[in-house]
């Protein structure tokens, strides 16, 4: 399969995925394969291409110029196999471009885990995952890259930031999970410890990209408790994390510093046959400390929430209405303090997004989507696409996306 002549996805991605599985499976030996493990092998993939058009600010490339931007592409290949009834090996290779350069399309390991289920009966399940696991963060984070699992082309940006996507996506370490079914409902829990992925997007958002040095992740922690009613109509979850990082400076006069990110997210969803109401609320503490340089150290608390109504009609159609609010600093909701310090316009500290979306499953493997956003503020715009002093407070955006899975 060749998707794009300029994208090295097909051959490189396949080689990487097979290498991951081969290395993981290598220690099981001949006896494992004698148990027909190959019968459990599953291979799946997806391709998504979007067209983004905005009237002022840029999003995922030059969306406000000429004919818009086609620089939002997602291509994935995933595989899983059970060499033993209590063991699952799973991995996904992802090639993604969201603005930026063509090199962003290089295939990377999205997740790859050795999953051992230590105990299971009719009502209880306990297990552990070792490797690169997806962070249990809100309702959508663990499946956010697959268009068929998202309610819209863009997830609520106040909770699921694309501008700092690498930080919340996955971690290299170990996670323990459990599930318990009782007459009152099902309880699930997962806690993990490891090193999160930190790319240049995080440094740019924290304002460290202008300083010579490198931001690296330290051991961090994440956990989620989820409850589901026996009817499946009501789901609630509480997610929390402590994400740590160290910035090693190479600039005289700027000390090495520490990053700390502590989000708490409450997620609620009520689901009926033809409609779903979802809301999530988050408080996020973000701090840079130890630099001892003017304008670098800070410690602020942000706030995010959204309300989303999704309506299914006919058999293959659904529409969505969502209001999404982001406040970067609860003590500076209007952004006046941000602007007074010379860190950009006031509207860069918040965003209020009214969105309407429409999806059509034209085929079990083909999803066609469109959505419109009317936004006040630029609090979640990617910095690499928009110099802060050139942004507009009020702006509109259309997105169109075609997604194929196999």
pLDDT mean across residues, the chain: 86
Average pLDDT over residues 236-264: 84
Asked, for residue 1, whether it belongs to a domain, the answer is no
- Band of residue 295 on the pLDDT scale cut at 50, 70, 90: low
Say whether pLDDT at 6 is over 60: no
- Band of residue 11 on the pLDDT scale cut at 50, 70, 90: very low
Say whether pLDDT at 24 is over 70: no
Per-residue model confidence (pLDDT) at position 19: 56
Cβ atoms 235, 266 nearer than 8 A: no
Cβ atoms 192, 174 nearer than 8 A: yes
Q: How far is it between the farthest Cα atoms of the chain?
A: 69
Per-residue model confidence (pLDDT) at position 168: 80
Asked, for residue 188, whether it belongs to a domain, the answer is yes
Say whether pLDDT at 313 is over 90: yes
Per-residue model confidence (pLDDT) at position 163: 79
Residue 327 DSSP one-character state: E
Count the domains in the chain: 1
CA-CA-CA-CA torsion sign (151, 157, 158, 161): positive
Provide the residue range defining the domain that includes 73.
Answer: 9-405
Say whether pLDDT at 169 is over 90: no
pTM of the model: 0.86
pLDDT digits (tens, 9 = 90+) for 331-346: 888 888 877 777 778 8
Average pLDDT over residues 194-210: 75
Report residue 220 as tokens: 């961090």
Asked, for residue 137, whether it belongs to a domain, the answer is yes
Q: Of 127-141, 209-223, 269-283, 365-379, which range is least confident?
A: 209-223
Question: CB within 8 A of 393, min separation 6: which ones?
Answer: 345, 347, 376, 377, 378
Asked, for residue 4, whether it belongs to a domain, the answer is no
Q: Where are the alpha helices (DSSP H) in 136-208?
A: 165-169, 200-206
Q: Of 46-55, 87-96, 186-195, 202-211, which range is least confident?
A: 202-211
What is the C-alpha to C-alpha distance for residues 89 and 82, in angstroms, rounded to an integer?
6
Say whether pLDDT at 385 is over 80: no
Average pLDDT over residues 122-144: 94
Say whether pLDDT at 114 is over 80: yes
Say whether pLDDT at 402 is over 50: yes
For 197-224, b/e burial (b = at least 16 CB within 10 A) is bbeebbbbbbebeebebebebeebbbbb
Per-residue model confidence (pLDDT) at position 339: 75
pLDDT digits (tens, 9 = 90+) for 357-382: 999 999 999 999 999 999 999 999 88
Considering 33-42, 166-175, 197-206, the range whose residues carry the highest mean pLDDT is 166-175
Query: At residue 91, what are phi and psi to the nearest 5 degrees?
Result: -150, 150
Higher-pLDDT residue of 235 and 170 is: 235
CATH of the domain at 351: 2.40.160.10
Q: Residue 292 burial (CB < 10 Å; 0-12/13-18/19+)?
A: exposed
Average pLDDT over residues 96-102: 78
Per-residue model confidence (pLDDT) at position 207: 67
Per-residue model confidence (pLDDT) at position 251: 66
Say whether pLDDT at 28 is over 70: no
Higher-pLDDT residue of 236 and 37 is: 236
Per DSSP, the three-state class of 246 is strand
Per-residue model confidence (pLDDT) at position 401: 98
Cβ atoms 93, 68 nearer than 8 A: no
Considering 226-240, 241-255, 290-304, 331-345, the range whose residues carry the highest mean pLDDT is 226-240
Asked, for residue 169, whether it belongs to a domain, the answer is yes
- Band of residue 8 on the pLDDT scale cut at 50, 70, 90: very low
Per-residue model confidence (pLDDT) at position 210: 63
Asked, for residue 3, whether it belongs to a domain, the answer is no
Per-residue model confidence (pLDDT) at position 345: 86
Say whether pLDDT at 4 is over 50: no
Asked, for residue 363, whether it belongs to a domain, the answer is yes
What is the C-alpha to C-alpha distance for residues 21 and 256, in angstroms, rounded to an integer?
38
Asked, for residue 308, whether it belongs to a domain, the answer is yes
- Band of residue 273 on the pLDDT scale cut at 50, 70, 90: very high
Q: What percent of the chain has pLDDT over 90?
A: 57
Average pLDDT over residues 28-51: 75
Say whether pLDDT at 84 is over 70: yes
């Amino acid at each position: 399969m060749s998707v794009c002549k300029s994208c090295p996805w097909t051959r490189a991605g396949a080689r990487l995925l097979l290498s991951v599985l081969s290395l993981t499976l290598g220690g099981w030996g001949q006896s494992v394969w004698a148990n027909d493990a190959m019968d459990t092998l599953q291979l799946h993939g997806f391709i998504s291409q979007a067209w983004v058009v905005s009237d002022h600010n840029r999003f995922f490339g030059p969306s406000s110029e000429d004919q818009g931007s086609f620089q939002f592409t997602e291509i994935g290949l995933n595989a899983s196999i059970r060499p033993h009834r209590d063991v699952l090996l799973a991995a996904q290779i992802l090639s993604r471009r969201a603005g930026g350069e063509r090199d962003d399309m290089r295939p990377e390991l999205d997740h790859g885990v050795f999953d051992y289920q230590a105990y299971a009966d009719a009502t209880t399940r306990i297990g552990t995952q070792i490797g690169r696991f997806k962070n249990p963060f809100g309702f959508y984070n663990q499946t956010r890259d697959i268009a068929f699992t998202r309610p819209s082309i863009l997830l609520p940006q106040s909770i699921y930031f694309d501008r700092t996507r690498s930080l919340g996506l996955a971690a290299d370490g170990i996670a323990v999970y459990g599930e318990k079914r009782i007459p009152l409902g099902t309880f699930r829990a997962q806690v993990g410890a490891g090193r999160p992925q930190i790319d240049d997007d995080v440094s740019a958002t924290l304002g460290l990209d202008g300083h010579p040095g490198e931001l690296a992740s330290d051991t961090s922690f994440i956990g989620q408790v989820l409850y589901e009613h026996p009817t499946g109509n009501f789901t609630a979850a509480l997610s929390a994390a402590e994400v740590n990082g160290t910035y090693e400076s190479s600039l005289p006069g700027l000390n090495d510093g520490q990053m700390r990110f502590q989000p708490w997210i409450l997620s609620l969803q009520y689901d009926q046959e033809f409609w779903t109401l979802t809301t999530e609320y988050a408080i996020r503490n973000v701090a840079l400390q130890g630099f001892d340089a003017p304008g670098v150290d800070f410690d602020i608390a942000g706030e995010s929430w959204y309300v989303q109504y999704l309506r299914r009609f006919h058999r293959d159609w659904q529409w969505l209405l969502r209001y999404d609010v982001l406040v970067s600093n609860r003590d500076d909701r209007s952004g006046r303090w941000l602007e007074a310090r010379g860190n950009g316009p006031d509207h860069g500290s918040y965003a209020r997004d009214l969105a309407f979306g429409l999806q059509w499953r034209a085929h079990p493997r083909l999803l066609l989507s469109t959505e419109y956003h009317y936004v006040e503020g630029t609090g979640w715009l990617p910095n690499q696409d928009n110099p802060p002093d050139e942004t507009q407070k009020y702006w509109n955006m259309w997105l169109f996306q075609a997604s194929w899975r196999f």
